[in-house]
Amino acid sequence: MRGRFITLEGGEGAGKSTQAALLADDLRGTGLDVVVTREPGGAPGAEDIRALLVNGEVGRWRPLTEALLHYAARREHLDATILPALAAGRWVVCDRFADSTLAYQGYGHGLDRETVARLHRLVVGDLGPDLTIILDLPVDEGLARAAGRGAGGDRYERMDRQFHERLRQGFLDIARRNLDRCAVVDATAPLDQVQHEIRRIVQARLGPVGS
């Protein structure tokens, strides 16, 4: 029996990595075998590409080049990690997936959405998440949280505020266009409340889980 595929999306500082780990722990507590992974990355070759994407100057890549790099990493991630896990009946919880490419390179950088869609059909095909949780919070709060992690921020964190506002609105538009798959969660709430809401959504959308 194929496993389930859950993705967490949102702008910088939204708490995706933390909530992905908490959700995986919740699911494991019900007896499920869960893989936690991330994008860009999640496989050796994809992690190499991630370094090209998150490091260096803000204007290092043109939008199409950046999208191509993300989809190259995604193909490695799918083949090495996601598809084998799902085929084995494991649940996959992924910190970012294809919605991030549409939001960042499409809405954020202005790359034509049909170009992103064509790349998606070529690289990913019909595979999609069973559920996508979009963690939403105001841009200034998200950037402040990201800055609090120190180390000067990666390329995306250092992009201007207007980019991050387009990014936020992009994720919300993606949610509106995919109501059957996406659920928006207020990420300004305390961490445990966000965790509880995500758990509630998973149960409501995917039914009782575990043994």
Instruction: Encode pLDDT of 96-106 as tens digits.
Output: 999 999 999 99
Rg (CA), the chain: 16
Enumerate the domain spans of the chain: 5-206
Instruction: Give the CA distances from residue 16 to residues 8, 126, 175, in Å, rounded to whole numbers and listed in that order.
Output: 6, 24, 16
CB neighbours of 181 closer than 8 A, spacing ≥ 6?
Answer: 128, 129, 130, 131, 132
- Over residues 24-45, mean pLDDT: 96
- Over residues 110-118, mean pLDDT: 96
Beta strands in the chain (DSSP E): 5-10, 34-38, 91-95, 131-136, 182-186
pLDDT band at 2 (very low <50, low <70, confident <90, very high): confident
Q: Which fold has domain 5-206?
A: Rossmann fold (3.40.50)
Q: Which of 43, 45, 135, 38 is nearest to 93 (CA)?
A: 38
Beta strands in 91-208 (DSSP E): 91-95, 131-136, 182-186
pLDDT tens across 65-75, in order?
999 999 999 99
Q: What is the pTM of this model?
A: 0.94
